[in-house]
Chain A
Amino acid sequence: MANIPDELLYSAEHEWVAGEPTVGAVVTVGITEHAAEALGDIVYVEAPQVGDTVTAGEVCGELESTKAVSELYSPVTGTVMDINGELDSAPGAINADAYGDGWIFKVEVTAKPKDLLGSEAYAAITD
């Protein structure tokens, strides 16, 4: 079964958020191991650009695997501060280490998120 760390928050669209998403805080975003497994080997990541405004629940990029294409949703609203440039040449990091080297972007939160899930609630929707 896919790993779902307790210390992270999750969106229903299978993104994770590391860090307390209070207004002004910078949080790290990626996709869950469950999502990575469902997609298969990820070969291309189109992340938002630094400086972009992203909105919780809205599409901000795309993930392409050998088998499928999936939209990337932002789990929080805010401004993109950093993106994981390593994914350009090594997108497989998302499959190998979804919660570590496979992080996708960092956001400075500008609005308190409403719909994030704890690990147990997220586990319940992945069954």
Chain B
Amino acid sequence: MTLHSPLHEEHVRLGATMVDFAGWQMPVRYAGDTVEHVAVRTAAGLFDLSHMGEIMVRGPQAAEALDFATVGRISAVTLWGAKYTMLCHPEGGVVDDVVVYRRDWDHFMVVANAANKDVVVDELIDRLEGFDAWVEDFTPGIALIAVQGPASAAIVMAMCELGAGDIESMKYYSASNVLLTGGIHAFVARTGYTGEDGFELYVNAADAVQTWRLALALGEPAGLVPCGLSARDSLRLEAGMPLYGHELSRDTNPIEAGLGRIIQWGTDEAPRGDFVGRPALEKVREQGPLKVLTGLVGTGKRSARTGYAVMDGSDNQVGIVTSGAPSPTLGAPIAMAYVPPALAAPGTELHVDVRGRHEQMTTTALPFYQRGA
């Protein structure tokens, strides 16, 4: 069964090239990957992310339940705050990486990847057993529209009937309820997946078209363009952000992925109890990871792509590429790859087998791109 975003007709009307993505028909591009990518780096881009899963966790023990279910201390998230975290398997591998928003003292929204949404719902139901908390999947009823780029704050403020001040003063990784022009209620978060300033607007699916058109109308004079999944992928790659199924999987733990910082072990002052995966992850922390995620930058024109072998100077395979593309911002091929820790030091010369020919690539610290202050 193919799922359609409430904005499907808008994409078709805008001439988008549609692709199947995690069971959804979604726009991969409108005018072109590079112009969309550059628009987000220099002005703004508009994304339909309605395929993402919105899972509500509610109840008097919702916070404690999420402390157990994820590697993050969700109970410490303040009202309207957000946290990037993960659900891990008992063996330490990643179930999904998610953003958790606190919408009330007893109400959290867990935003999951489309491909993992059902798994996350099932895992949460299992992990909440014994807690006074429950799980509801709101995905079909919610549209997610992102406005990303340096012009995004001005555009989202202009979209507000009530709450523009909240947008202006909103800190990164926090959120607010606002009223958009036309009486549309929106939950707006200053979050994103592009490496730029940006906002994600959660609205009722019935308000999606009106919200999308409002953003386009107010944003286009500022340089906003609709962007597809292709630009989203190249933007997140430059920003060194992991994508489930590429950098993250059941066979990869957060420490290997360079995201050990999101595991909140607890401190002497604020100890933390058990969470799913803790014993396995403690072992990785003590023994060190067997592989680590590194950036690779090439000098040629041919890009390393997902699954390509990383080779050392003696032509032995030492790692594997998880994502790769020509970087519009750097003007060079970039990739992320897992390699042994000994080969991950920035500046290490490696080779990638690009369809039978070896291309030289140099390890570099992530991210490849960081926006100016």
Q: Which residues of A contact B (CB under 8 A)?
A: 37-38, 40-41, 43-44, 46, 62, 64-67, 69, 95
By the criterion CB–CB under 8 Å, are B355 and A66 in contact? Answer: no
Q: Is B302 an interface residue (CB 8 A)?
A: yes
Cα distance A8–B150 in the bound complex, in angstroms: 45
Q: How many Å from the CB of B332 to the closest CB on chain A?
A: 11
Chain B residues in 8 Å Cβ range of A67: 28-29, 33, 230, 233-234, 325
Which 8 A/B pairs are nearest by Cβ-Cβ distance?
A66-B33, A44-B301, A40-B33, A41-B34, A67-B230, A41-B33, A43-B326, A41-B32
Chain A residues in 8 Å Cβ range of B230: 40, 66-67
By the criterion CB–CB under 8 Å, are B302 and A44 in contact? Answer: yes
Cα distance A65–B29 in the bound complex, in angstroms: 13
Chain A residues in 8 Å Cβ range of B29: 40, 67
Q: Given A40-B33, A41-B33, verify A64-B303 contact (CB < 8 Å).
A: yes
**Within the complex, which residue of B17, B301, B305, B355 is in contact with A43, where a contact is CB–CB below 8 Å?**
B301
**Within the complex, which residue of A40, A65, A69 is in contact with B355, where a contact is CB–CB below 8 Å?**
A69
Chain A residues in 8 Å Cβ range of B303: 44, 64, 69
Q: Which residues of B contact A (CB under 8 A)?
A: 17, 28-29, 32-34, 37, 230, 233-234, 301-303, 305, 325-326, 328, 355
Chain B residues in 8 Å Cβ range of A46: 302
Cα distance A82–B234 in the bound complex, in angstroms: 34
Chain B residues in 8 Å Cβ range of A43: 301, 326
Chain B residues in 8 Å Cβ range of A40: 17, 28-29, 32-33, 230
By the criterion CB–CB under 8 Å, are A66 and B234 in contact? Answer: yes
Can you list 12 A-B contacts with CB-CB less than 8 angstroms, sorted by A residue number? Answer: A40-B17, A40-B29, A43-B301, A43-B326, A44-B301, A44-B302, A64-B303, A65-B33, A66-B33, A66-B34, A66-B328, A67-B28
Q: How many Å from the CB of B186 to the closest CB on chain A?
A: 31
Cα distance A69–B333 in the bound complex, in angstroms: 13
Cα distance A66–B37 in the bound complex, in angstroms: 10
Residue of B nearest to A68 (CB): B305
Chain B residues in 8 Å Cβ range of A69: 303, 305, 355
Chain B residues in 8 Å Cβ range of A44: 301-303, 326
By the criterion CB–CB under 8 Å, are A66 and B325 in contact? Answer: yes
- 4 new A-B pairs (CB below 8 Å) besides A66-B34, A66-B230, A67-B33? A43-B301, A64-B301, A64-B303, A66-B328
Cα distance A62–B357 in the bound complex, in angstroms: 13
By the criterion CB–CB under 8 Å, are A62 and B355 in contact? Answer: yes
Cα distance A126–B243 in the bound complex, in angstroms: 31
Q: Given A44-B302, A64-B303, verify A95-B28 contact (CB < 8 Å).
A: no
Q: Given A44-B302, A64-B301, A66-B234, verify A38-B328 contact (CB < 8 Å).
A: no
Cα distance A21–B262 in the bound complex, in angstroms: 62
By the criterion CB–CB under 8 Å, are B233 and A95 in contact? Answer: no
Chain A residues in 8 Å Cβ range of B355: 62, 69
Residue of A nearest to B300 (CB): A44
Chain A residues in 8 Å Cβ range of B34: 41, 66
